[in-house]
Structure 1
Amino acid sequence: MTHPWPGWQDELRAVLSASQERYRATGAVSAPDVAGPHELGRDWARAHRSLAPLLLAVEDLTREAVRAVITGADDDSGVPRLAANLRGAGVAVIRELLTGARHSCSPVVPRPADQQLTAANLLWGAHVPPEPGYAVIAARSRHTGISDFGRCVDDALGACGRPGFVHLLLDSGGYLLGPAHDEQDAVNLALRLHEHLSGAVWLAVAWRANTDVEEGRHEASVVLDLVTSLAQPPGVYGVEDVVVEYALMQDTSTLVALLSLIAPVVHQQSLRTTLETLTATGGNRSKAANALDIHRSTLNYRLGRIEQLTGHTPNIAHGLQTLAAALTMYEVVHAPDPADRWPEQVRAWV
């Protein structure tokens, strides 16, 4: 990656640092106090640089900040409001960057980066697209050996006969969106698209009316994070595939409560393994004891300890369901970021 202008690394670092400072604030989110994001977006676009590394870096920072707040909370006091403010701060920074980028555009001479600007404006709610409904697809690509994932997506869209799509992509993933008649049309498109993409590729698809594309981006992004955090195989996914986990990710108070509930168990490996095994065997204690290669009395002792620590008994269906949900969400929010989307240069600056 060549330098688009002198000092661009310092400018990007300053914007991301300012974003992090805003993420720490607990008050109402307001517009940036400095013109950094606006000016950076303008200069970045004038230098004909891809917008994807910049915008997806800010999005990843936002995700990391929200995750840090949720995983570091002892209780839910103030956490839902702070998490909402963090998400709002990330959107505000991205919109400032996009405003600056729009001011650099020439209405006469289109550039390849303008397609990314169009996609970003739709994804973050700056523009309402003309068609009635849209497929919004979050993509993640790993170990494909492909040096230009965006070109591969364009080729795949051409093979599917679907014009009118725009995207914001790095080689390891991002977003694409375009007209779709309804939810089933969007799913069918994603399935066909996946067939034409080589390597390990995950696609999360949502369909929204043209006024709600930003909401579709959020849904697809959360679904993609969930299926990759839960180590699901490459494929096409929708919210119905992770409906419980998705609902919990939207309810910060409940999520924090579940994480607090399961924390004493996950910090003791024998108890965690026991709960995982009992869940995997559908609550069958005989099968769980055999799988763990322990005596039934040892299993009962461990289950009793889990009940003492959590207040929920894994010996009944409701208790096991609650504990299993808590354990799953713990694994989700503590999973290492599977995206690896940032170029090394960007990750090193943060």
Structure 2
Amino acid sequence: MLSPCEAVCDAVPELTPRALPQALDRAIELFRGKQDITDGDLMRCTEPAVRLAEHGVRISPLLQAWDLGSSTLLAEYWARALPGEQRELAALTHWITRTVSGITTEVAAAYSHTLKQTGLGLPRRVLADMMVSGSVNDELAAAAHHEPADRYLVMAFGLLGGTAPGPATVALGAAALAADDAGLCCQVDQHICVLVPLRSPETPAVIGGRVLERLRQADLPVRLPVGSVVADREKLDDAAQRAIVVESLAAAAELASPVVEESEIISEMAMLRDRSYQEEMAGLIDPLRQHPDLIETLRTLYSMDLDRTRTARRLNVARRTLTYRMEKIEQLTGINPVRTRGIQSFTLALTARNLPAGT
């Protein structure tokens, strides 16, 4: 029967090396024999990390799986404990926690050293991956020339054309931000995430705009808008997912700002959480379904900030035709599209229409 750690590693295709789960089992055996883990065991732990580094493969999922495996194994021991064994299990818990931490530190250090020796130029990407997973260590941060901050601006974006990011794209972003420790770059699902340390009194919007400009100068095909969230260092994993949601909602709302903050899409977040609210808002433009030209008129009018001359030019119609269309919209819906309440209602209705049903 597989140990919990081995089972976790089997469940993740990327985690092919067997040395780490085997080393954890070896650590348990040593503990039972009242011995400490040896330098030789540590060396065997670091070997797969070195091989992965030589091929440019990320190890953060491997370390996460190993941490999870050790926790699962401990939980299993506690669940099977007999009366009187609690004291020994408490000692085991303390010892294995310290041992696993020591091993993962050695593994990460060996990985970082190999990256530097092979010239892959990926330490900053690896550091960002590990920070998002909550397993950052000082040795890896030092190798990537990054001083961890208490708070970060987390930016998330996709690539133009829907292209899936990969190591080369992430490395390009990391290189663009390497100077002055401007940020760390990593991949989260189908998005690129940039972790920007907040060390100055400048607003996140100013800092985010500067980072975005660096990425664009490096010819990184950034798809706008970019979602952004400010978070503590300990909560970067959650912040990355939230930034992805902000990016998605900002795109659905067709916001013009290149960098969108979480506070700018509060109404869209409400629709994301409440399906009935989303359906009611989308229903405001149901009377226009048979008139796609009127829906396009609304969308263009709001993207042009109600400038009728620019709107008519963009739609390639006369101003008189534009006026007729707005009157037709009010006639069909009962809502004036250029009054304050109408602008608010139709803006949210267009966003709700762009969101997948029941998101």
TM-score normalised to the size of structure 1? 0.52
From 151, 171, 187, the equivalent of 1:133 is 151
Aligned residue type for 1:303: E
How far apart are residue 146 of structure 1 and its match?
Answer: 9.5
Q: Which residue pairs with 1:205 in the alignment? A: 228
From 319, 327, 335, the equivalent of 2:350 is 327
Q: Distance in 2 between matches of 1:156 and 1:100?
A: 32
Aligned residue type for 1:46: T
Is residue 282 of structure 1 aligned with residue 306 of structure 2?
yes
Q: Distance in 1 between matches of 2:195 and 2:227?
A: 12
How far apart are residue 271 of structure 1 and its match?
Answer: 3.6
CA contact (8 A) 2:185 2:192 kept: no
From 139, 148, 151, the equivalent of 2:171 is 151
1:120–1:271 distance in 2 versus 1, CA, 3 Å: same
How far apart are residue 322 of structure 1 and its match?
Answer: 0.8
Is residue 196 of structure 1 aligned with residue 220 of structure 2?
no
1:148–1:320 distance in 2 versus 1, CA, 3 Å: same
Report percent identity of matched pairs.
17
CA contact (8 A) 1:204 1:223 kept: yes
How far apart are residue 258 of structure 1 and its match?
Answer: 0.9
Secondary structure at the counterpart of residue 46 of structure 1: coil
Aligned residue type for 1:154: A
Is residue 177 of structure 1 aligned with residue 177 of structure 2?
no
Q: Distance in 2 between matches of 1:122 and 1:183?
A: 26
Aligned residue type for 2:159: S
How far apart are residue 155 of structure 1 and its match?
Answer: 1.4
- Post-superposition Cα deviations, 1:185-207, rounded to whole Å, max 9, x if no partner, equal 65554333323222332443321
Larger deviation: 289-298 or 235-244?
A: 289-298
From 170, 174, 181, the equivalent of 1:161 is 181
Q: Distance in 1 between matches of 2:126 and 2:204?
A: 24
Q: Which residue pairs with 1:225 in the alignment? A: 248
1:210–1:159 distance in 2 versus 1, CA, 3 Å: closer
How far apart are residue 109 of structure 1 and its match?
Answer: 3.0
Q: Which residue pairs with 2:291 in the alignment? A: 268
- Post-superposition Cα deviations, 1:86-145, rounded to whole Å, max 9, x if no partner, equal xxxxxxxxxx9954686599623333796465234239xxxxxx8532222213333799
How many residues are treated as equivalent by the alignment? Answer: 248
Secondary structure at the counterpart of residue 321 of structure 2: coil
Q: Distance in 2 between matches of 1:267 and 1:51?
A: 51
Is residue 109 of structure 1 aligned with residue 107 of structure 2?
yes
Unaligned runs of 5+ in 2: 18-51, 71-99, 113-124, 136-147
Alignment of 1:42-81 (within 5 A): 42-46=12-16, 48=52, 50=57
How far apart are residue 319 of structure 1 and its match?
Answer: 3.0
CA contact (8 A) 1:102 1:117 kept: no
Q: Distance in 1 between matches of 2:176 and 2:185?
A: 13
Aligned residue type for 2:15: A
CA contact (8 A) 2:156 2:194 kept: yes
- Post-superposition Cα deviations, 1:16-43, rounded to whole Å, max 9, x if no partner, equal xxxxxxxxxxxxxxxxxxx999445544
CA contact (8 A) 1:303 1:315 kept: no
Secondary structure at the counterpart of residue 122 of structure 1: coil
Aligned residue type for 1:45: L
Higher relative contact order (CA 8 A, sep 6+): 1
Alignment of 1:84-123 (within 5 A): 98-99=64-65, 103=69, 107=104, 108-110=106-108, 111=111, 115=127, 118-122=130-134
Aligned-pair Cα RMSD in Å: 4.9
How far apart are residue 326 of structure 1 and its match?
Answer: 0.7
1:244–1:193 distance in 2 versus 1, CA, 3 Å: same
CA contact (8 A) 2:188 2:240 kept: no
Is residue 304 of structure 1 aligned with residue 293 of structure 2?
no
How far apart are residue 252 of structure 1 and its match?
Answer: 4.3
- Post-superposition Cα deviations, 1:44-77, rounded to whole Å, max 9, x if no partner, equal 133648569xx9xxxxxxxxxxxxxxxxxxxxxx
TM-score normalised to the size of structure 2? 0.51
Aligned residue type for 1:282: L
- Post-superposition Cα deviations, 1:239-259, rounded to whole Å, max 9, x if no partner, equal 355454445445544223212
- Post-superposition Cα deviations, 1:135-181, rounded to whole Å, max 9, x if no partner, equal 22213333799971221222122213347x463368x7422325424
Unaligned runs of 5+ in 1: 1-34, 56-95, 124-129, 335-350
Q: Which residue pairs with 1:259 in the alignment? A: 282
